[in-house]
Amino acid sequence: MGTRNGESMERRKDPLRRAREALGVSSGAGMEEVRRAVRRRARELHPDLRPGDPAAEERFKRLVEALGEVTAAAGRAGGREERRRGGAGRARNVVAEFEVRLGEAERGGAHELRLRVVCPECGGKGGSCPACRKRGSRTVERLVRVQVPAGARDGDVVRVAGEGAAGGGAARGDLLVRLVVRVPEGVRVEGDDVHLDLPLTVGEAWEGAGIEVPTPAGPVLVTVPPGVDPRAVLRLRERGLRRRAAGGGRRGDLLLHPLVVLPDRRDERTAVAVAGLAAGYSCAPRRMFLRVFE
């Protein structure tokens, strides 16, 4: 009995351990791995996607609580619910995630966040809570206006004062919105720099072309040189994201990676044209390939 109670107390003291066990991740999983696992499971179990499924709602609530406990223990804003220290009856901060596109994060602006949180009256415990009984649910939906700052990055937290949960008095805690920046396919962000695949037809890669390229500050015309090497990188200086460590409107770089796109029409005319390209090689393109392990 003493050993079992000791193990139970140890789990209560270690919210990260409890979160790992609930998610089924390895015992060595760190904070970020646990957070990613929670986000994946929360999307699957979100009440908006599983209406009328009380079991999924209960699991969703436990995920929210688990991530909130882990975040509070680490002293960081990034979980789902976080209580202010100081005893029962105090106002509580509510932490939520909000997904924005890469361009929206760079430009900044006002957004409406449709937030589903555990009951602000009882913290999602249900039971004798009159508000939960009236709604028939332990969660509540709220619409909150969130001002995303220009140049926001994935993982940034925006504080919305007074939009958290109320305590025993009239005051409310704050809403802490953790931004999840959605990056399109073919785009990679590295600090202030952006890597972007540049699709080219066979003719454009061969002859060169002027190509309109999107940038965070608006489209620009880029000259692709004739016979561009697909392994080349075309760097557009100060056309990337706003630099966070420097003022004055400085930006990172935009790095373009040429990507030759083959014709998608598999007809006779295209086949003849492609076959004719074979005569254009002065040497075998794989002449060194087979010697890699010599």
Does the pLDDT at position 6 exceed 60? no
CATH class of residue range 2-182: mainly beta
Residue whose C-alpha is closest to residue 122's, from 162, 176, 76, 65:
65
Phi, psi of 290 (to 5 degrees): -75, -5
Span 139-155, pLDDT tens digits: 667 788 999 999 999 99
Q: Which has the higher per-residue pLDDT, 11 or 142?
A: 142
Domain with CATH 2.60.260.20 in the chain: 2-182, 187-266
pLDDT 10s digits, 213-222: 999 999 999 9
Distance CA 261, CA 199 (A): 6
The model's pLDDT over 60-102, given as tens digits with 9 standing for 90+, comes to 667 666 665 665 555 444 434 444 443 445 677 878 888 999 9
Instruction: Specify the pLDDT at position 222.
Output: 96
Superfamily classification of domain 187-266: Urease metallochaperone UreE, N-terminal domain (2.60.260.20)
* Mean pLDDT of the region 41-55: 67
Calpha distance 114→47 (Å, rounded): 13
Candidate from 126-130, 149-153, 181-185 with smallest mean pLDDT: 126-130
Name residue 136's beta-bridge partners: none
Least Cα distance to 151 among 44, 278, 244 occurs for 244
pTM above 0.75, yes or no: no
Neighbouring residues of 115: CB distance < 8 A, sequence distance ≥ 6:
94, 96, 141, 142, 143, 144, 175
Give the strand pairing for 109-118 and 139-148. antiparallel
pLDDT digits (tens, 9 = 90+) for 231-284: 899 999 999 999 877 555 689 999 999 999 999 989 999 999 888 888 888 888
